[in-house]
Amino acid sequence: MTATTRSRLTPDQRRSQLLELGVRLLATRSLDELSIDVLAEEAGISRGLLYHYFGNKHAFHEAVVRRAADDLIAQTAPPADGDPLVRLMVSLAAYVDYVLANYEGYVSLLKGAGGGNDALRAIYEEVRGVLSDRIFTEDPEGHLIADTPRNRLVVRGWSAMTEELVITWGADQRAGRTEVSRDELLAIIGGSLPALVGQQPPRPAAPPATTSAGGGSGPSPAEILLRDEQLR
């Protein structure tokens, strides 16, 4: 008879495991509702052990939000290659999906950042900075938008508008108000950026549109973007 041994997690591995659990719990509850007692019960460990790993409730909350922010940045990373506008739309779609799936936690981050919590504000500003800078870092040649101080200012404002649109749309979805579809939301967000910058978006690489017998034109750039995003 061979005895099986159970591998013992290192302190860092155990802490990481607890943070992952905290992020999952944060998806469906506010940060205030995510107490050490709740995590201890879900994890099946003592409160004292959690204090050992995180020190206090505030440090625990900051660590969970930090992990959630890292997840958001990773999950919204655009594809490595492809047309800049299509890559932007894929990243935006991932952002919308993330906010909807983690609504309570994301709103808690916004409230914490706006409520004077310096640590949460720093995390929030970092996330917004990364998401905004991607417009330029992922398109260094400026095929979509040239990297200028004026355009960076516009993109910063567009990011705030995007956040407000997605949060409001998410609240409507959760309340059963579904008049605006996900595709319509993405078309609004994606189409507004080139308009705000003051330039026409380039057409994604695609076969030439055919003209119907009645003289109608092919699909619009927005329709192509949405179709490509839906088929990814």
What pLDDT score was predicted for residue 218?
A: 45
Residue 54 lies in a domain: yes
Output the pLDDT for position 73.
96
Owning domain of residue 37? 12-64
Percent of residues, the chain, with pLDDT higher than 90: 58
- For the chain, what is the domain count? 2
Please tell me the distance from the alpha carbon of residue 79 to that of residue 152, in angstroms, as a whole number. 22
Enumerate residue ranges in the chain where pLDDT < 70.
1-7, 199-232
Residues 191 and 150 in one domain: yes
pLDDT at 148: 94
Query: How large is the C-alpha radius of gyration of the chain?
Result: 22
pLDDT at 7: 62
Amino acid, single-letter form, for residue 184: E
| Residues in Cβ contact with 172 at an 8 Å cutoff, skipping those fewer than 6 apart | 178, 179, 180
pLDDT tens digits, one per residue of 19-38: 999 999 998 888 888 999 99
Same domain, 59 and 97: no
User: Would 205 be classed as within a structural domain?
Assistant: no
Distance from C-alpha of 194 to C-alpha of 129, rounded to nearest angstrom:
19
Residue 143: what pLDDT? 87
Same domain, 230 and 118: yes
Residues 170 and 82 occupy one common structural domain:
yes
Q: Model pTM?
A: 0.78
